[in-house]
Structure 1
Amino acid sequence: MLVLTHIRDRMLSHSHYTLVYAASLATEVECQLWEELEKHLDKLAKKFIDNATRELQENMARNVSKKVIGHVHDNMRFQMSMRK
């Protein structure tokens, strides 16, 4: 009976250390996954910001061009009306 108790205790002890080791590995893997996810999200955020900035600059350039063209047309109309 003493031998069986000893074997049982050893198995429980071994199982406990195996579970602790497995939990430690799981935690390490989880940390690595979070780090990789953060890197990926940083890349996506940078790409999104770059695209949004580019679109904003293009829209601003178009708006400025439209305003300049509008002012040129207004100025031409005004000059034409002054000639009449």
Structure 2
Amino acid sequence: MAFGAYIRLKREAKGIQMNDFARQLDISPAYWSRIERDIEKPPKDELIRKAAEILGENVDDAFVEASRLPPDMRDDVGGLVRMYRKQATGDK
């Protein structure tokens, strides 16, 4: 599911109006509407985190729906990829 559709489904399930939600995020309703309709790419990390928290959703799940790793995991994954590649190629 695309991020916009995911977050809209969660928002509507909580009974929160889009204008009210945008106000809580401190952004314009027009911009948030474009995100929910997947016209805009998923927003910056901070807005994804804040939206998930307002909705009481798991922040990691929101990042996955946005096709991103949660910020706190990015360095860890990079290290794992480097380690895997070293093992795969026999580099030390």
Normalising by structure 1, report the TM-score.
0.28
**Higher Rg of the two aligned structures:** 1
Query: Whose RCO is larger (CA < 8 A, sep 6+)?
Result: 2
Q: TM-score, normalised by structure 2?
A: 0.27
Instruction: Considering fraction of residues, name the structure with more helix.
Output: 1
